[in-house]
Amino acid sequence: MEAGRRRGLSGIVSSLSLLCVILDLQLDGLLGASHAEIEQHLEMGRKLLAAGQLAEALSHYHSAVEGDSKNYLTYYKRAAVFLALGKSKSALPDLTRAIQLKPDFLAARLQRGNILLKQGSAQEAREDFEAVLLGNPGNEEARSQLALTGELERLSEEAQAAYRQRDYQGTVTVMERVIELSPWDPDARELRAACFIELGEPRKAIQDLNPTTKLRNDNRAAFLQLSRLHYSLGEHPDSLSQVRECLKLDQDDQECFSHYKQVKKLSKQLESAEHSISEQRYEDAIEKYEAAMKTEPNVQLYTTRAKERICHCLSRSKRAREAIESCSEAHRRDPRNIFILRDRAEAFILNQEYEKAVEDYQEAREFDAENQEIKEGLERAQKLLKQSQKRDYYKILGVHRNANKQEITKAYRKLAQQWHPDNFQSEGQKKEAEKRFIDIASAKEVLTDPEMRQKFDTGEDPLDPESQQGGGGGGGNPNSWPFEFNPFGSGNFHFKFNYN
């Protein structure tokens, strides 16, 4: 049995040996054939590179590098394509590998030095430029770049000293030249961003931090900082987008996750509130904006925005006095906001304070003269003001502009009973009562007819012959109506007026 087992093992070993021999022969064949293929890839790479077809050229250089990992020129040529594609981080390892394979390859050292300088690695760049000058003292580019390296080192030290002394504006001034010399240096941009934050210029900080998320492989700190900056500016969708990028890099990052929960909660409340407004569910929207202010009480931009939208909801839901109060508070917070002025103007109209409505629309128009909604609102408010100086049917009946038909009818009946001509004895009193009663009746006629009420609400009196434009119920001037009129549709009263 043991002998059989040994014979079996011996057979396996023999088979494996034979397989290895076959694989070696196949590999030798492949390697022998690959030289021509490598040359073909290099030739195609050169042609495509010359034609500007960079992605296709890169593909051939990849194949050439895989076929011959000891050819320094192949790495150098692939690095050139990476640089042409703007991928300096990918080019750097190829240049380093080319230099390792051929330490005196000065062209690769010069190219690597240029990349290192742009990345802010001044000491390493200096070593490359000095090596080039050692091998070729007359190389002007290396000499020029070496001088820039010295300037970068000096300015970097100057900027750090200014920052330590909290001279943020001075640091920014110096960093302008530093970043010009080293545009791919994330440290430089992050330092200037920190200064902009201290100087109260978050937009500029965002501009500097955005590139650093690509200049570093894992820059969660930058994503988190960007998220916080957008959040502080009231830009919660952008804030949410940036903090999600942080969590993509590490879902267990506690700082990012904590901030994400806060931004997500606030975003959901604000979006839900706007959805309620779009569906005209103004009470729901007000509750959600009030909740949002509790979620984020420290960033005033969110409170100001919530106050503006609550003002809008109250105005649209025709709660005139509450809207005026809310909009006035919102206006104090954001005096140049034309939408707050618009909504308060509409609340003033509801409250029959037309002069104030005109003032708000005029102020809004000063801030945005081209806004069509503001133009139309001003024209309507001016018409209503002019109309109120003649005859205001709402005031005649003593009802608000948002009164419903039932409220209007109730007010009409009460006033009609009060100004019944038979309640008065003298001829003068009867004439005054008739005049008042006609005004009351015409107010009821206009305000209970949807079409005529709509005309009146836009500044046109449908019973005024001067404002008639081809029709509109009521006919002529109600002060000279030569007809018999029944003021109550219910038939409870019947008056016959004698106009002599």
Q: Could you list the pLDDT tens digit for every one of the 500 residues in the chain? A: 444 444 544 444 444 444 444 434 344 443 433 678 888 888 887 888 888 888 888 888 888 888 888 889 889 999 998 998 888 889 999 999 999 999 999 999 999 999 999 999 999 999 999 999 999 999 999 999 999 999 999 999 999 999 999 999 999 999 999 999 999 999 999 999 999 999 999 999 999 999 999 999 899 999 999 999 999 999 999 999 999 999 999 999 999 999 999 999 999 999 999 999 999 999 999 999 999 999 999 999 999 999 999 999 999 999 999 999 999 999 999 999 999 999 999 999 999 899 999 999 999 999 999 999 999 999 999 988 888 777 788 888 888 888 898 988 998 888 888 887 878 878 778 788 888 888 888 888 888 999 888 888 887 888 876 665 444 444 334 343 333 344 434 434 444 433 33
CA distances from 117 to 72, 144, 208 (A): 23, 12, 19
Amino acid at 41: H
Residue 283 is encoded by which pair of tokens? Answer: 């009470």
In this structure, how many other beta carbons lie within 10 angstroms of the beta carbon of residue 258? 11
DSSP assignment, residue 479?
Answer: G
Per the CB < 8 A criterion, the answer to whether 111 and 134 are in contact is no
**Is 352 exposed, middle or buried (CB count within 10 Å of its CB: 0-12, 13-18, 19+)?**
middle
Looking at residue 500, its pLDDT comes to 33
Per CATH, is 391-500 categorized as 1.10.10.410? Answer: no
Gap between the Cα atoms of 353 and 476, Å rounded: 28
Separation of alpha carbons 45 and 55, rounded Å: 10
Give the CA count within 13 Å in the CB-facing half-sphere of 398.
Answer: 7
Q: What is the DSSP letter of 219?
A: -
Residue 29 and residue 36 in contact, taking contact as beta carbons nearer than 8 Å: no
> CA 158 to CA 177: how far, in whole Å?
12
462-488 burial string, b = 16+ CB within 10 Å, else e? bbbeebeeeebebeeebeebeeeeebb
Residues 372 and 356: beta-carbon distance below 8 Å: no
Q: Global pTM?
A: 0.70
> What residue type is assigned to position 46 of the chain?
R
Q: What is the pLDDT of residue 203?
A: 97
Helix, strand or coil, per DSSP, at residue 424: coil
| Separation CA 462–CA 329 (nearest Å) | 37
Domain with CATH 1.25.40.10 in the chain: 299-389
Contact criterion met (CB below 8 Å) for 425 and 479: no
Fold of 299-389: 1.25.40
Q: Are 117 and 146 in contact, with CB atoms under 8 Å apart?
A: no
Instruction: Provide CB contacts within 8 A for 149, sequence distance 6+.
Output: 117, 122, 125, 126, 129
| Number of Cβ atoms within 10 Å of the Cβ of 408 | 20
Distance CA 188, CA 185 (A): 6
Q: Is 412 exposed, middle or buried (CB count within 10 Å of its CB: 0-12, 13-18, 19+)?
A: buried
Where along the chain do the CATH 1.10.287.110 domains lie?
391-500
For 198, the token pair is: 């201290």
Which DSSP category does 400 fall into? -
What are 321-324's contacts with CB under 8 Å, separation 24+?
Answer: 321/351, 323/347, 323/350, 324/348, 324/351
